[in-house]
């Protein structure tokens, strides 16, 4: 019964979007590391993407809202730094979603999301959010963002 | 104050104070990309500081991470003197970053092997980010040093000015020694050789000249600071001090 509820929480979290990249969920992002239960109290383990990412707070707030809406009130968060978050935790499906959304997914080869060219150039290692770098496509000349590999 | 608390605060304070300095560039960067880069670096540093301050708060048992950031006076901050130095021009900020990033890159690499699992986890996480910061400051110094006559002159002056703060990185006092003996802390005196090699190769490539040995300034790690830190704190701590119960 408790396992059933843990599964339910996992399912619910799949509906919580990343606040910056709404096409992927917090599960897709790989920040939810574990959900455990003790004495009918749930502990959700979250690992930060970047130490200072302001979305981490929003993610917790969004999870709270989602679970409370589904009558789950007895939970808390554990922030875990180790093992450190890595883009390797993103599935191929997640990476495909990113590319479709217009962000080049974390990879050794940076692909232009517009024309799919591999002939791209780094403009700045720092983009609009901590997790993204700023690129330019040398074929279609469009600027685009790329998810950094960490 | 426990040794572990002081050791942790020293790490947190470097990130917090340098983060505040980098944040001062927000909206004043020389280009839009650089404005974003420096704000991003500031955010990383605040995030790192927050992680270490949360741990310090746990060790302390009473004060929260926010208390530690916003309710201490300058004499109770234990950051390196280097990180409180005013930004000056962009090249000056990048020299300060290069000196610090190179050291923290080596420092976090070692700290990630600490027997203290909180410190090692935070160091491992921070290491991923400091690598970006290091590449950023290193690339800029090579570009500015090997740029125009004017840019070379400016960063050379900054390098000469800031060099006196670098010995503090490698000092070992009682706190360090106890932490080293417990396999918690890093023996930073052993990092000096590699730090010097990286800095020398970078400034060679940047066509800069290594400053000659001068009288070094230290003491920040024991709370001895310039009045520049008090001015910085006045701004950083203004809101929580003026409105102690403010929530955000």
CA distance A78 to chain B (A): 13
Q: Are B78 and B6 in contact (CB under 8 A)?
A: yes
What pLDDT does residue A53 have?
A: 83
Whether residues A50 and B126 touch (CB distance < 8 A) is answered with no
State mean pLDDT over B206-211: 97
- CA dihedral B192→B132→A16→A143, nearest 10 degrees, is 180
Q: Nearest CA of chain A to the CA of B49: how many Å? A: 9
- Residues B92 and B112 sit within 8 Å (Cβ to Cβ): no
pLDDT value at B196 more than 80: yes
Cis-peptide, bond into residue A83, ω within 30° of zero: yes
Instruction: Return the residue in A33, A50, A51 with the most chain B beta carbons within 10 A, the one to mutate for interface testing.
Output: A51
Query: Model confidence over A30-71: pLDDT tens digits?
Result: 999 999 998 889 999 999 888 888 888 899 999 999 999 999
Q: Report the distance separating Cα A91 and Cα B143, nearest Å.
A: 38
Average pLDDT, chain B: 96
Over residues B73-101, the mean pLDDT reads 98
In A, minimum Cα distance to B133 occurs at A125
Do A81 and B125 count as a contact with CB atoms less than 8 A apart?
yes
Q: What is the 3-state secondary structure (H, E, C) of chain B?
A: CCHHHHHHHHHHHHHHHHHHHHHCCCCCCCCHHHHHHHHHHHHHHHHHHHHHHHHHHHHHCCCCHHHHHHCCCHHHCCCCHHHHCCCCCHHHHHHHHHHHHHHHHHHHHHHCCCCCHHHHHHHHHHHHHHHHHHHHHHHHHHHHHCCCHHHHHHHHHHHHHHHHHHHHHHCCCHHHHHHHHCCCCCCHHHHHHHHHHHHHHHHHHCCCCCCCCCCCCCCHHHCCCCHHHHHHHHHHCHHHHHCCCCCC
Distance CA B114, CA B128 (A): 17
CB atoms within 10 A of CB A139: 13
Residue with tokens 């090699």: B197
For the domain made up of B3-242, the CATH class stated in words is mainly alpha
Domains of chain B: which residue ranges?
Answer: 3-242
pLDDT at site B154: 98
CB atoms A51 and B129 under 8 Å: yes
Structural domain spans, chain A: 2-85, 88-147
How many A×B Cβ pairs under 8 Å?
71
* Chain A nearest C-alpha distance from B171 (Å): 27
Please tell me the predicted confidence (pLDDT) of residue A5.
85
Pair of tokens at residue B78: 């234990």
* Residue A39, min C-alpha distance to chain B (Å): 25
Task: Name the band, by pLDDT with cuts 50, 70 and 90, for residue A131.
Answer: confident
Are the Cβ atoms of A84 and B33 closer than 8 angstroms?
no
pLDDT of A3 over the 90 cut: no
For residue A124, what are the β-bridge partners?
A134
For residue A57, the model assigns a pLDDT of 87
ipTM of the complex: 0.82
Write out residues 47-76 of A within 8 Å (CB-CB) of B.
Answer: 48, 50-54
Percent of chain B with pLDDT over 70: 100
Interface test with A, best of B39, B132, B133, B247 (most A CBs within 10 A): B132
Residue A2 has pLDDT above 80, yes or no: no
Task: Kindly report the number of other CB atoms within 10 A of residue B48's CB atom.
Answer: 29
Q: What angle do CA A86, A90, A94 make, to 5 degrees?
A: 150
What number is the average pLDDT over the span B33-51? 95
Q: Is the pLDDT of residue B189 over 70?
A: yes
For the residues B58-68, what does the mean pLDDT come to? 96
Q: Any idea which architecture A2-85 has in CATH?
A: 2-Layer Sandwich (3.30)
Q: Cα angle at B22 between B244 and B189, to 5 degrees?
A: 100
Is residue A124 predicted with pLDDT exceeding 80? yes
Q: Say which residue the tokens 């052993």 belong to.
A: B190
Per-residue pLDDT, B52: 97
Angle at B191 (CA atoms; ends B189, B197), nearest 5 degrees: 125
pLDDT for B110 beyond 90? yes
- Whether residue A1 has pLDDT greater than 60: no
3-state secondary structure of A63: helix
- Whether B248 shows a pLDDT value over 60: the answer reads yes
CA dihedral of A70, A76, A81, A85, whole degrees rounded to 10: 0
The span from the CA of A36 to the CA of B134, in Å, is 38
């Amino acid at each position: 019964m408790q396992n059933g509820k843990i599964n339910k929480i996992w399912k619910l979290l799949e509906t919580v979007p990343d606040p910056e990249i709404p096409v992927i969920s917090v599960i897709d992002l790989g920040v939810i590391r574990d959900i455990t239960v003790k004495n009918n109290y749930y502990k959700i383990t979250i690992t930060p993407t970047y130490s200072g990412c302001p979305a981490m707070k929003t993610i917790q707030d969004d999870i709270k809202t989602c679970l409370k809406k589904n009558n789950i009130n007895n939970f808390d968060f554990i922030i875990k730094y180790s093992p450190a978050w890595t883009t390797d935790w993103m599935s191929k499906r997640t990476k495909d979603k990113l590319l479709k959304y217009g962000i080049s997914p974390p990879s050794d080869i940076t692909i232009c999301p517009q024309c799919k060219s591999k002939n791209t150039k780094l403009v700045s290692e720092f983009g609009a959010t901590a997790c993204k770098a700023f690129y330019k496509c040398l074929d279609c000349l469009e600027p685009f963002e790329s998810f950094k590999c960490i | 104050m426990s040794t572990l608390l002081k050791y942790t605060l020293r790490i947190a304070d470097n990130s917090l104070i340098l983060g505040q300095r980098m944040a001062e560039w927000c909206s004043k960067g020389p280009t839009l990309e650089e404005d974003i880069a420096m704000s991003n670096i500031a955010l990383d540093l605040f995030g790192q500081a927050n992680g270490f301050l949360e741990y310090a708060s746990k060790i302390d048992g009473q004060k929260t991470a926010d208390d530690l950031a916003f309710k201490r006076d300058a004499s109770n901050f234990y950051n390196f003197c280097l990180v409180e130095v005013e930004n000056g021009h962009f090249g000056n900020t990048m020299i300060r970053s290069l000196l610090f990033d190179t050291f923290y890159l080596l420092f976090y690499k070692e700290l990630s092997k600490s027997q203290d699992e909180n410190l090692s986890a935070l160091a491992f996480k921070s290491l991923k980010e400091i690598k970006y910061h290091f590449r950023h400051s290193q690339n800029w110094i090579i570009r500015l040093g090997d740029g125009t006559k004017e840019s070379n002159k400016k960063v050379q002056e900054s390098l000469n000015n800031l060099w006196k703060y670098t010995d503090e990185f490698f000092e070992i006092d009682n706190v360090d020694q106890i932490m080293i003996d417990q396999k918690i802390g890093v023996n930073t005196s052993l990092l000096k050789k590699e730090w010097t090699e990286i800095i020398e190769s970078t400034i060679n490539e940047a066509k800069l000249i290594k400053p000659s040995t001068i009288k070094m300034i230290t003491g920040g790690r024991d709370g001895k600071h310039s009045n520049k830190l008090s001015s910085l704190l006045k701004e950083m701590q203004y809101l929580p001090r003026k409105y102690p119960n403010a929530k955000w």
